[in-house]
Chains A and B, each alone.
Chain A
């Protein structure tokens, strides 16, 4: 080992990107980052950013930062999608499209990893942070500092995965990096290591968040909020976080084992040495399948809040909604093998997993019908969140039906690894998860920022997403039936697939337009915030506790600890109409701290150093993280008091504006 490799590991200048598209992407990203830094400096916003946001332990602030990061990552993953669609629309016959085969492989690997780990997960934790403490009538989460650490680990993972665009390369082994392809013998560069460590770091953040919110829901609920008075969104989060707690440690272990194979020459999943690569596939899906439900359950919860409010009725079948959540939680651990029916397990095994998979459609169907029953004979307001719901309910049901088709092992033998599968899971994740989160963001936005999002641009965005989605993924179902496999960078002109691929490309362009409308919506809403201001704190005539406090919600959420004596507690209070006079008390809230950011920063350094085999720096990063943790654990002065007088003043001025009953 030479001195240079001791100090710099595998790093060298030669690893900067060479081909035009990769270099362009890297330069664009660096340019954007520098532009943002320059703007902050120009507007002298550093101090504000640091004290109000980066060091904040307020879950609402952390939630907004989660959503900001996941929005940026949505752009990154979306650009990947556009590149893939362009490649597949043009790379036919003699033409080989715009991307080299290996670059195409990097892009589909990055697209999947980014969209799941950094868009969907980030968006989900963002909304959970914004809403859960407010809905359960709590001033904070159970472990505010841990929450900050979780966020910064998530952000560190996001930076690491983007860094692969600039230095070195990214994995070409798909979003789940099946061995033996992902082993050192077949993927000798740092690509898979980037994949491992960005997922490992953000995954540990997710695990800690899962723990935090589960304990928050169990222990921090307002007095009187017995289990059957918990809002359905909170129930859905409790289900999802239970899944996080049982599933994410499996991911942590699996990634660690793959990393041991690659860095220390072990033989867990290698082709030689007695390794067993099907064990990897089992392990990764024992995490991966519950992961799908981790993402979709909160979306179900969001719709269960939105549909009653905009239908002017209480939710139909509350108890069956709660039970179906837990049925899904339970069943989601019994279906993982349907991801590899073709592995060659015996027929009985495939049959068991096929039946369990089809059975999941039952509790999901219960939910669909309950939402529809809630709308039935309701006084429906067709606001943007409601539009997202109606788009969801149509597309998600179709996607669910294709899922039941795939659940039949004989059919799966035909459809496995085809674009039919790709179309199926995008239907679940885009029109299920993403539409749900968009609806939730629109719905709760005024509670966080104090003004509503612009309706007319929101509608335009919705229609673009809806038709864009149908155009982008409808053709993929057909192509799948015609035999087009996934991850195809080139095909013969004689197959006649090109028109369908071009339609899919147009669909993606329409989705991009929808996203542009969402950006415009945000800009216009900020500009016209005074017209759209929510002075009542209850812009939608809501039913749950978060609407009882002013918008934007104060840092301490509730001036007086709310007491709950029914489901839809705020609705019941509005019906009663009397506002009791109350005594105000001093409120103790955690102070800001930058240590969460430092811990995650050191972990990032460690992750980066392991990717590049810079062992001294990895050790240093680890020491730094542990030292920061100790500093936090043994510091005493972590809380500040908000005086009762200030609380009272804010609360009384809100009461004067509250929606009249």
Chain B
């Protein structure tokens, strides 16, 4: 993350020590926020671990998971993390339009991820295997859905970021928002790796 903080420090704008300290404070505050979000996800993972076998006569994970689609979701989200990183690199080089372009790419990939997840959820509900079917499905929908909700919030954030990058250029405050967003987005990637492993891979291998 030092590179991200450096992104803020290498800008050639008139800034004082106060603004630099405020940037660093914002970044450390956001780290603490991510830790709290991690505890929230940890609680949901623990819940899933307790309830994953409580299928109550309904389907188990191996009955409902479509691994090719899940793999596609994973690759899409990982790629979006890469494009998000490229947006930060572009911002560091001072290219506002290029930054916005990479953000648009991130937006498209993120939206594709959410679309796949929503269609998966919708088809499960159509088959009668919605979250109220069993404790396993409640915990599955809640854990994966909470991650999806985070990604959706991220999408709203990207839209606002694109608008402000194009309108104001790469000012200090815009850069700070970009850095915080990229931390958020990479964090969601990390959480997804755990979901992919714990929910999907372990779900289809352990019957």
Given A265-B132, A274-B134, A211:B51 Cβ within 8 A: no
Minimum CB distance partner of B43 in chain A? A253
**Chain A 343-366 interface residues, beta-carbon cutoff 8 Å to B:** none
Binds A, one of B28-36, B77-85, B90-98: B28-36
Q: Check A249 against B43 for contact (C-beta < 8 Å).
A: yes
Q: B50 near A276 (CB under 8 angstroms)? A: yes
Whether B50 lies near A267 (C-beta < 8 A) is no
Q: How far is the CB of A225 from chain B (nearest CB, A)?
A: 15
The interface-forming segment of A172-180, A212-220, A521-529, A543-551 is: A212-220
Q: Verify A219–B40 contact, CB threshold 8 A.
A: no
Taking each of B32, B56, B133, which has the highest tally of chain A beta carbons within 10 Å of its own beta carbon? B32
The answer to whether B43 touches A268, judged by C-beta atoms less than 8 angstroms apart, is no
- Do the beta carbons of A245 and B132 come within 8 Å of each other? no
Chain B residue nearest in CB terms to A278: B50
Separation of A250 and B132 alpha carbons in the complex (Å): 22
State whether A633 and B177 are in contact (beta carbons under 8 Å apart), knowing that A215-B32, A273-B56 are contacts in the complex: yes
B104-144 vs A: 1/0 string, CB under 8 Å? 00000000000000000000000000011111101101100
Residue A266 interfacial (CB < 8 Å): yes
B5 at interface (Cβ–Cβ under 8 A)?
no
Q: How many A-B contacts are there with CB distance less than 8 Å?
A: 107
* Cβ-defined contact, A267 with B56, below 8 A: yes
- Report the separation of the CA atoms of residues A215 and B138 in the bound assembly, to the nearest whole angstrom: 36
Q: How many residues of A contact B (CB 8 A)?
A: 41
The chain A residue sitting closest to B29, CB to CB, is A215
Closest Cβ of chain A to B103, distance in Å, is 16
Whether B35 lies near A267 (C-beta < 8 A) is no
B25 is contacted by which of A219, A254, A256 (Cβ under 8 Å)? A219
Q: Given A260-B138, A274-B136, answer yes or no on A252-B173 (Cβ-Cβ < 8 Å).
A: no
A266 interface neighbour in B24, B32, B36, B132, Cβ under 8 Å: B132
**Choice from B39, B51, B156 contacting A274 with Cβ under 8 Å:** B51
Known interface pairs A265-B132, A630-B160; A257-B47 also in contact (CB < 8 Å): yes
Q: Which of A143, A211, A275 contacts B36 (CB 8 A)?
A: A211
Chain B: interface size category: 35 or more
Complex alpha-carbon distance, A215 and B35, angstroms? 13
A42 lies within 8 A of chain B by Cβ:
no
For A257, the chain B residues whose CB sits under 8 A away are 47, 142
Please name all residues of chain A whose beta carbon is closer than 8 Å to the beta carbon of B43 when the two chains form the complex.
249-250, 253-254, 283
Q: A254-B43, A268-B139 are contacts. A207–B28 as well, Cβ < 8 Å?
A: no
Is A530 an interface residue when CB atoms closer than 8 A count as contact?
A: no
Whether B33 lies near A211 (C-beta < 8 A) is: yes
| A14 on the B face (CB < 8 A) | no
Contacts of A220 in B (CB 8 A): 25
Asked if residues A142 and B56 are in contact (CB atoms below 8 Å), the reply is no
Q: Which residue in A266, A270, A276 is a CB contact (below 8 Å) of B142?
A: A266
Instruction: Give Cα A273–Cα B133 distance, bound, in whole angstroms.
Output: 7
User: Chain B contacts of A267 at CB under 8 A?
Assistant: 54, 56, 132, 134-135, 138
In the complex, the answer to whether A268 meets B135 with C-beta atoms within 8 Å is yes
Q: Which of B25, B135, B164, B177 contacts A276 (CB 8 A)?
A: B135
* Contacts of A266-295 to chain B: CB distance below 8 A: 266-268, 270, 272-276, 279, 283
At the interface, yes or no: A493 with Cβ under 8 Å from chain B? no
Q: How far is the CA of A211 from the CA of B34 in the complex (A)?
A: 10
Asked if residues B28 and A245 are in contact (CB atoms below 8 Å), the reply is no
- Of A265, A267, A634, chain B has the most CB atoms within 10 Å of the CB of A267
Contacts of A633 in B (CB 8 A): 160, 177
- Contact present for A249 and B173 (CB under 8 Å): no
Within 8 A of B (CB), among A195-228: 207, 211-212, 214-215, 218-220
Contact partner of B40 among A212, A215, A252, A265, CB < 8 A? Answer: A252
Interface membership of B44, Cβ < 8 A: yes
Query: Which residue in chain A gives the minimum CB-CB distance to B44?
Result: A253
CA distance A260 to B135 in the complex (A): 12
Smallest CB–CB gap between A657 and chain B, Å? Answer: 31
B47–A142 touching, CB < 8 Å: no
Q: Does B55 contact A (CB under 8 A)?
A: yes
Task: Flag whether A248 is at the interface (Cβ < 8 A).
Answer: yes
Q: Which of B25, B132, B160 contacts A215 (CB 8 A)?
A: B25
Complex-state Cα separation, A276 to B35, whole angstroms: 27
Name the A residues within 8 Å of B37 (CB-CB).
249
Q: List 15 A-B contacts (CB under 8 A).
A: A211-B32, A215-B28, A219-B25, A249-B37, A252-B40, A253-B40, A260-B131, A266-B131, A266-B138, A266-B141, A267-B56, A268-B138, A273-B56, A275-B135, A588-B18
Residues of A within 8 A of B (CB): 142-143, 207, 211-212, 214-215, 218-220, 245-246, 248-250, 252-254, 256-257, 260-261, 264-268, 270, 272-276, 279, 283, 588, 626, 630, 633-634, 636
* 15 extra A-B contacts, CB within 8 A, seeds A267-B132, A273-B133, A273-B138: A219-B21, A219-B25, A246-B39, A249-B39, A253-B40, A253-B43, A266-B142, A267-B135, A268-B47, A270-B135, A273-B56, A273-B132, A283-B43, A633-B160, A633-B177
- Among all A-B residue pairs, the 3 with the closest Cβ atoms: A274-B54, A274-B135, A274-B56
